[in-house]
Structure 1
Amino acid sequence: MAKRRPVGNLLGLAVLTVLVQRPMHPYEMASVLRARGKEQDMRIKWGSLYTVVRNLEKHGLIAAVESNRQGARPERTVYRVTDAGLAEAADWTRELLSVPVSEPSSFEAGLSVLGGLGPDEVVTLLRHRLAALERRVEADRDALERERRELPRLFLVEDEYALAMREAEAAWVRGLLAELAGGTFPDLDGWRAYHETGRMPGHVAEAAERGRATG
């Protein structure tokens, strides 16, 4: 189970890890994280950066080392990561790598209510999704090949994982489409009849009322 952390926003972990490189002020942190494309790896709300930095300092995970001002710009405080911050970042990384967490996607949400649309429309929509996924997979493969010529694999494993997940999703959607288009999807006739007549087959209605077991 994921533990409760003094700063639970993943942006906090990003800040801790970027400060391992060198002390920085918040604006520089944001610039470096953006340059690394960190928002593609984590759900980051950039507007909360200064709040996250203050909370990290409050809990002793980072510390101010100097403040400076350039011309009429606001004063900027430079921070370094503390030993406690290094330990927190390492522990947090261990948790992220070792503890599976259920993170439902918007696609899962759509699949959970796809019965509200007719099967023919669902086929059309899934074909659009599959085409978009295949374009993205091709683009990601090309980008990864270019990156492999310039960067050590250590800095590319998250991109490899993201590509593998998109490939797996595309394969699953392709399989579902084959069932729907080929007529082998269970209760397909009843699903279609419901949208034609407005009457849901009895066993389907019972299942909808009963819901599914969760564990």
Structure 2
Amino acid sequence: MTVRRPANPLALAVLGLLLEQPRHPHAMAAALRERGLDSAFKLTTGSLYDTVRALARDGWIEADGTEQVGGRPARTVYRHTPEGRARFTEWLDELIREPSPEFPRFVSALTYLGALGPRRAAEALRERAAALEAGLAAGESAYQAAREDHGVPRLFVIEAEYARAMAEAELRWVRATAEEIERGALPWPEGDGHA
């Protein structure tokens, strides 16, 4: 029997959080935002609740009681089912072991970089470099706050280290390519956009 895996990548985040402790969706959202993971997963209230319902329907997680704070409505707390935890770790193992094609927008846009012309292409790359630098600085602050201020173990934020390494590599490439364009070392087809 083939196990139906969640279509929404947010399911990974939900299942990961439930490894730590049972939680209700509101606490899941708060933890994802606090850790800066709302930038890695498309997080809306609707998508989170839809994901939780789908995981419960498919037997990955189950209700583990309710929690009520003050006059707020009672919230259903969820935990892994034993089978759901096993499925999650199998899925995770596969995702880590087996590279799969990803289709980032930036790579798609690079395919047509020549259409911008050398000046505009270099300007666009320089602007991207500045945005990457700002993102790296903000990410580093969030990482340090999680590790030092909140005592989050390194293993629980290791994806931030990976994201930092990827952003640093992209930044190096973007800067080097902009520099090549600016000094004329990257040949541009004749008559192709001197914008």
Report TM bin, short chain.
0.7 to 0.9
- Paired residue secondary structure (2:79): strand
How far residue 9 of structure 1 moved from its aligned partner, in angstroms, is: 1.6
How does the TM-score come out when normalised to structure 2? 0.80
Higher relative contact order, chain-length normalized (CA < 8 Å, sep 6+): 2
1:123-202 to structure 2, matched below 5 A, reads: 123-141=122-140, 144=143, 149=148, 150-186=151-187, 188=188, 190=190, 193-195=191-193
Match in the other structure for 2:93 = 94
128 and 118 in structure 1: CA distance in 2 versus 1, 3 angstrom threshold? same
Q: CA offsets, 1:149-196, max 9 Å, x none?
A: 45433233211111111111111112212221121213x251xx2336
Equivalents in 1 of 2:75, 2:97: separation in Å?
37
Q: CA offsets, 1:190-210, max 9 Å, x none?
A: 1xx2336xxxxxxxxxxxxxx
Structure 2 segments unaligned to the other structure (5+ residues): none
Size of the alignment, in residue pairs? Answer: 191
How far residue 34 of structure 1 moved from its aligned partner, in angstroms, is: 2.4
Equivalents in 1 of 2:192, 2:20: separation in Å?
60
Match in the other structure for 2:111 = 112
- Paired residue secondary structure (2:59): coil
How does the TM-score come out when normalised to structure 1? 0.74
Equivalents in 2 of 1:19, 1:104: separation in Å?
29
Match in the other structure for 1:35 = 34
- Contact between 1:13 and 1:92, CA under 8 Å: does it hold in 2? no
- Paired residue secondary structure (1:156): helix
Query: How high is the sequence identity, in percent, across the aligned residues?
Result: 41
How far residue 108 of structure 1 moved from its aligned partner, in angstroms, is: 1.5
Matched, 1:54 2:53: yes
- Matching residue's letter, 1:92: W
140 and 48 in structure 1: CA distance in 2 versus 1, 3 angstrom threshold? closer
Structure 1 segments unaligned to the other structure (5+ residues): 197-215
> Which of 1 and 2 has greater Rg?
1
- Matching residue's letter, 1:194: D
CA RMSD of aligned residues (A): 2.8
76 and 131 in structure 1: CA distance in 2 versus 1, 3 angstrom threshold? closer
Q: CA offsets, 1:38-93, max 9 Å, x none?
A: 22333434422222222111121112233466787555322221101111221121
Equivalents in 2 of 1:130, 1:41: separation in Å?
20
